[in-house]
Amino acid sequence: MHHGASAAILAAGGTGKYADAPASRRHVIEHYNNLVAGEAEPLGTSGVALRRAFEERLVADYDLVENATMAEASELTAQARIMLDAIRQKWGFAA
């Protein structure tokens, strides 16, 4: 999802002086959300799934107490596929 969002940012003209993708994951989320704000479903709300995936990644990588369930992982995987398909359609990326 992160790389898909970065690709969408680049396809839309990038950010900053060098028209590149943001270096940090948090800034990719911020710029991607701004990019898709006002877009029709599912692209318009895909930033919510991107933020959730980032938060789940932090839990999975750094939290030794809480674990994701199979249902949560399956739901997030489905949201990732929807997001990536919407990005492909909007910016013409090959599958």
Instruction: Give residue limits of the domains in the chain.
Output: 2-91
Separation of first and last alpha carbons in the chain: 14
Instruction: Return all residues near 3 (Cβ < 8 A) that are at least 6 apart.
Output: none
pLDDT at 74: 93
Predicted pLDDT of residue 53: 93
Across the strands, what pairs with 20? Answer: 15
For every residue of 5-28, DSSP letters joined together read HHHHHHHTT-BTTTTB--SSHHHH
Q: What is the pTM of this model?
A: 0.87
Q: What is the pLDDT of residues 25-82, one digit of tens each?
A: 999 999 999 999 999 999 999 999 999 999 988 888 887 666 778 898 899 999 999 9
Contact 30, 47 (CB under 8 A): no
How far apart, in whole angstroms, are the C-alpha atoms of residue 21 and residue 10? Answer: 6
